């Protein structure tokens, strides 16, 4: 009986560990507010201005590809970026266009 219980506990631990590994491997995400320079829907990339004003092309991941049709050059956006476990940029997972009120 003790061996069966131990085997069951070990099996449950393996299942829990296996289901949590993808979350751990996903790294972290962060938001960046920036301006779109250009959109390449075929390559799933966008070119943005970084904080110093230089252009930088970044990959748009599957979760945000549908948003590419909603953005254009000159749009101010907030990007949610996915980083790997080393903190290196992997790609954009969400694009939110910032709404500007028109003066009137």
For residue 103, tell me if it sits in a domain. no
For residue 15, tell me if it sits in a domain. no
Tally: H helices and E strands in the chain: 1, 5
DSSP 72: -
For residue 23, tell me if it sits in a domain. no
Here the CATH number for the domain that contains residue 60 is 2.40.50.140
For residue 73, tell me if it sits in a domain. yes
Q: Over its length of 104 residues, how does the chain's per-residue pLDDT go in tens digits? A: 566 644 544 444 444 444 444 444 457 999 999 999 999 999 999 999 988 889 999 999 999 999 999 999 999 999 999 999 988 999 999 999 998 655 55
Number of domains the chain is built from:
1
For residue 63, tell me if it sits in a domain. yes
Domain residues for the domain of 39 are 29-97
- pLDDT (0 to 100) of residue 28: 92
- pLDDT (0 to 100) of residue 2: 60
For residue 22, tell me if it sits in a domain. no
For residue 64, tell me if it sits in a domain. yes
Is residue 60 classed as helix, strand or coil in its secondary structure? strand
For residue 19, tell me if it sits in a domain. no
Q: Taking every pair of C-alpha atoms in the chain, what is the biggest distance, in angstroms?
A: 78
- pLDDT (0 to 100) of residue 87: 87
């Amino acid at each position: 009986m003790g061996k069966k219980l131990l085997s069951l506990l070990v099996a449950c631990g393996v299942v829990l560990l296996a289901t949590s590994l993808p979350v751990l491997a996903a790294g972290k995400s962060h938001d960046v507010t920036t301006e779109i320079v250009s959109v390449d829907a075929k390559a799933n990339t966008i070119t943005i201005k970084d904080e110093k004003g230089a252009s930088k092309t970044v990959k748009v991941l599957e979760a945000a590809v549908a948003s590419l049709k909603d953005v254009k050059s000159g749009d101010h956006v907030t990007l949610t970026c996915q980083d790997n476990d080393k903190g290196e940029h992997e790609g954009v997972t969400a694009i939110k266009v910032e709404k500007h009120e028109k003066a009137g």
